[in-house]
A and B are shown apart, each in its own frame.
Chain A
Amino acid sequence: MAVVVWFRDHTLSCLCDAHFNTRTPAQVMSVIRLLLGLAFICNAYAGMDGTHEKTLDNGLKIIVKEDHRAPVVVSQVWYRVGSAQEHNGITGVSHLLEHMMFKGTEKYPADQFTSTLAEIGARDNAFTSRDYTAYYQLMGSPHLEVSFRLESDRMVNLVLTQEDFISERNVVKEERRWRTDDNPNAQVYEQLHATAFVSSPYHHPVIGWMDDLDHLELGDLETWYRRWYAPNNATLVVVGDVEPDAVFALADEHFGALANRPVRESKPRLEFLQTGPRRVTVKAVAKLPYLMLGYKVPSLANARQDWEPYALSVLSGVLDGGRSARLSKRLVREMELVASAGAGYNMLARYPTLFLFEATPAVDHSAEEVEQALYAQIGELQETLVSDRELARVKAQVIAGEVYQQDQIRGQAGLIGRLEAAGLGWRLMHEYRERIDAVTAEQVQEVARVYLVEEGLTVGILEPQSEPVRAGEAAPSAGPQTLY
């Protein structure tokens, strides 16, 4: 139950805001884990050595980072499309298309795609988030060519059939039931975002609304594929035991002949200014109450003052950077008010996002009590400067985290990919430590005062029920029906 366990988890699934692994669902990703994954961002920056960039004539950007510790390599193709490019009615199309990308091409039908990777012992998977869709293979470094061969082929030659589509849509509906519909805390997360964001596409979930999934058509996927899957809308990230020039040459050989196409961006749909608190209550079958707070904040890509996201990141460290941080020390141990609590922030979101708090009340305490206690913690941050010792600790963790991060090539590649997907560029990772180091106690106080205010707040509360709520249920819409 300890929050810190998740915070310390160095896995790829921690690195992204609501991304889903299509191929191998290793574990249920709890909302707690998801959230702390966001907090983890402050540890997620790699060192700066040995990174090289090249862009092919067709616009495909390639970033290679050398890591010669083991004879392995990870290759990832990142497309700049995710659920934030979707609109109401086709939500979930990016993620469903990601599933369909494993259904094969003329040259490599699904079975052959799978066996080609199996023959070299590669691990492959994909993930979709709000801001991007990415595909990857991990393999022995001599086999990198196999990855490029398959990825360049399916970038433009995917075969989409009605039969595969129907079956895979059912798989995705099962995935939605598993991740969200049967997971009460995930329902709070989903509805909190739907409440906090009205005009922004961060309103809808990555996996899509069930009714939208029911009414997606093969044509929607074809359109989506043709619109977004092009070399000039992709970034190829390679990290491992490779030589950059050889990788560039190999990439040119496989991807170089693909034609670039104009990519029509979505309309911005900027969220209108929230001017008062919002509240959403979820009544779901559960045993434990649960609480989330979301405050509107900028991310690096859209901050008015570029130090603000770094100050927010330090703020999340002061609150939740381990067992010594305030939420654990005060709410868990001193007051014994919560069984677990977390705070986090994804500074790499492409659009303005939320600074999130979450908590599971301890035995005999209510979500409302915990809510008040969180406000008190926020109030203190606004009134009183954080101590030098706390600041120093957060910064020490960032420095150590940069070293630990290099133990995994997947994490290193993931960071580069997300920086690119956010439109920030991978070189920003060079600045990260310095920028965090420059954050002052006054700046932490300033962002708490400006952003952690009720005008931009949305509260989500889970009220546990013993039976599902059915009141107010409408008849299913026409067309294929959801098995509910």
Chain B
Amino acid sequence: MRFAACLLGLCVVLQGSVSAAPRIEQWHTENSVRTLFVAAPELPMLDIGVTFDAGSGRDAHLPGLSLLTHSLLNTGTRELDADAIAEKFEDVGAEFGTGVKLDRSSISLRSLTDDALLEQALSTYIAVITQPVFPEKDFQRLRNQALTAIKDEQQRPGSIASKAFYRALYGDHPYAQPVSGDESSIQALTLEDVREFHGQYLVAENAVIAIVGGIDTGRARQISERIASSLPRGIRPEPIAPPVPRFPAQDLYIPYPSRQSHVYIGQLGVARGDPDYFTLYTGNYILGGGGFSSRLMKTVRVELGLSYSVYSYFFPLKSSGPYILGLQTHVDQAQQALDVSLETVEAFIRDGPGEEELELAKKSIIGGFPLRIDSNRDILGYLSMIAYYGLPLDYLESFSGRIAAVTLADIREAFGRRLHGNQMVRVVVGGPNKE
């Protein structure tokens, strides 16, 4: 969770010794699907990701619908059943995957670039995205699996806490609902709902494509055209309305017979593309994002030995994503850990970072940039993000400059304006029933 958030948040280009960002090529397919491509000729492999504005934020009154729809894609096409689809991919060593987040869903393929192998993988991939038949039998089976997955989350106090946190923070907003759904919505879902969701959201108007690997631009263009032209045009859905802060912030305790309490504290944070983002990212790096250099880690773990992991991050989404602080500690220490963490956050909001802390954070973020784009898989992730959120093509190249430009005053101002310790949701899960 923490890594995922950091990766989503970060891209830098550097100063001095290290290299520049990869050269990104961009085009629109004939039916206007934005495509980003990076040639990586060193290895005979290819990664493709198609991203749709079809995350769980589009589930509406049926939480879990997007996830179930995506997990059903590879259970049947007009010509192939689930077994045959799996064999088509795996006979050629290809890897197929789907992922659903709050804003977006992604459908990915990794294959060797050998013509025959790639052709089999690619044609299966396109069929699975564009012509799924959603067999009744597989629908029932995956619905049962979804129920099992929800039970699995219910036996993990960390998951219980995370879900309660999003609910408390977002109330009626779509981001309040868990990606996995809940028991009643999964039971209420029908095959018709799945077909409708697929028909409405997995369309060209709602898609972007990212490609990284050992092919040339011409071949990448062909591939993007093949994928895009197989998608119905469709309609771009309306943006999700921004969430409204809820007052007073909820303070929740949920008993659970675990040894540790899981603590989540937070507030509405920032939207992707917000001009404050780089300031908040850099500030939070000092507060809770920069590993052992961060104030939270130094206080809660190193000095007090209260938790194995403690962190905070801004999770930028299309609408305001959350600011989240998380930790786990023995149930008897939960209050202490919560108090100390909040004090640390409040002191940071009030006083901001020191000059040396800021300099170190900048060096660390900028110096670490090459590590974020050192594999095809990492680059694919950035291309998908840039394309989906409509970020400028020079996003990677301009990032280090924007980090370098952040000042102490910027951080104090932005944190002071946005974060307030007394307006933060607090969730503690784990510990005895209280009277």
Q: Report which A residues bind B (CB closer than 8 A).
A: 1-2, 4-5, 8, 10, 23-28, 69-72, 102, 110, 114-115, 118-123, 138-140, 142-143, 166-175, 177-178, 181-184, 285-288, 321-325, 328-329, 332-333, 336, 339-340, 360, 362-363, 389, 392-393, 396-397, 399-401, 403-404, 406-409, 464, 467-468, 483-484
Contact = CB atoms under 8 A, between A and B. Distances in A.
Contacts of A26: 1-3
B244 interface: no
A142 B18 contact: yes
A23 B74 CA distance: 38
A72 B371 contact: yes
Interface of B: 1-3, 14, 17-19, 40, 42-45, 71, 74, 82-83, 85-87, 89-95, 97, 110-112, 138, 141, 144-149, 151-152, 154-158, 257-260, 290-293, 301-309, 328-330, 332-333, 360-361, 363-371, 373-377, 430
B91 A407 contact: no
Contacts of B332: 483
B363 A184 contact: no
B90 A393 contact: yes
B86 A322 contact: yes
A183 B377 CA distance: 31
B91 A71 contact: no
Candidate in A102, A178, A362, A396 with the most chain B CB atoms within 10 angstroms: A178
A121 B257 contact: no
A10 B301 CA distance: 29
A160 to B, nearest CB: 15
Contacts of B18: 71, 140, 142
Given A121-B368, A288-B155, A323-B86, A339 B292 contact: no
A484 B87 CA distance: 49
Contacts of B87: 324, 393
Contact of B291 (A23, A168, A408): A23
Nearest to A181: B259
Given A170-B305, A174-B308, A407-B377, A27 B367 contact: no
A323 B89 CA distance: 9
7 contacts: A2-B145, A23-B292, A120-B363, A363-B144, A397-B90, A407-B375, A464-B155
Nearest to B152: A288
Contacts of B93: 396-397, 399-401
Given A336-B141, A400-B112, A1 B149 contact: yes
B330 A177 contact: yes
A149 B4 CA distance: 30
A302 B97 CA distance: 37
Given A24-B291, A182-B157, 19 more contacts: A1-B148, A26-B1, A70-B374, A118-B290, A118-B293, A118-B363, A118-B364, A120-B363, A121-B364, A139-B368, A169-B305, A182-B430, A184-B155, A286-B155, A324-B83, A324-B90, A339-B144, A393-B87, A404-B95
Contact of B148 (A72, A184, A363): A363
A483 B305 contact: no
A360 B97 contact: no
Contacts of B110: 404
A241 B82 CA distance: 42
